[in-house]
A and B are shown apart, each in its own frame.
Chain A
């Protein structure tokens, strides 16, 4: 089954630095999405990139998608302490359900 696997599992950086998280999956997709989860809270949708797109931006977020390598990356620029959270990628294929990876725990130190 298709499955997103985030890498690294945990990431700790200083405020102001960039944070890069990677996601790999196994099968064809229609789109890939990134979600954020603050501790003990629900997931919040951040950005969606379609299978025919290679890069997408939203504020300080930059997502890339390489369908030939079945991988995606999420870059958060100029990180802030408030960016501390877990980040999940989810793959979607029409007619099937979303599949979430195990997530990357990001800690941004002040």
Chain B
């Protein structure tokens, strides 16, 4: 069966520090991968999606970047965090070519102070 992992679960970082959040998927090949951000009590904002290694599409301009160095690994990064980067970050995957359902990881809660 497929599983999706995210780490860390919680992160507290000072403003201006770098960020690296990791997401890995097991049990499937060549998935579509997604990074979402969720503000407290709000819906999901799509940040990045990837249909293959090295292929990243950005939905909104921001202080963050994403990379996909391996088929089932998706990394969210920042060189310098802003206060506004605080939130709950969710990684998700879907089946390539039949991406009707998304499967979410447990999320990472980021607090920038």
Give A residues with C-beta under 8 Å from B: 30-31, 33, 35, 40-45, 48, 88, 90, 92, 97-103, 105
Contact = CB atoms under 8 A, between A and B. Distances in A.
Contacts, number: 49
Interface of B: 34, 36, 41-44, 46, 49, 59, 88, 90, 92, 99-107, 109
Contact of A42 (B42, B43, B101, B106): B106
A42 B105 contact: yes
A65 to B, nearest CB: 14
Given A40-B107, A97-B59, 4 more contacts: A35-B104, A90-B102, A97-B46, A98-B46
A16 B103 CA distance: 29
Given A88-B44, A97-B49, A105-B41, A45 B107 contact: no
26 contacts: A30-B100, A31-B100, A33-B100, A33-B101, A41-B107, A42-B92, A42-B106, A42-B107, A43-B90, A43-B92, A43-B102, A43-B104, A45-B101, A48-B101, A88-B43, A92-B99, A97-B49, A98-B34, A98-B46, A98-B102, A99-B46, A100-B36, A100-B44, A102-B42, A103-B42, A105-B41
Query: In terms of DSSP, what is the predominant structure of the interface of chain A?
Result: strand
Contacts of B90: 42-43
The 10 closest A-B pairs by CB, nearest first: A42-B104, A102-B43, A100-B44, A43-B104, A42-B106, A100-B43, A42-B107, A45-B101, A42-B105, A103-B43
Given A40-B107, A97-B49, A97-B59, A45 B44 contact: no
Given A97-B49, A97-B59, A44 B104 contact: yes
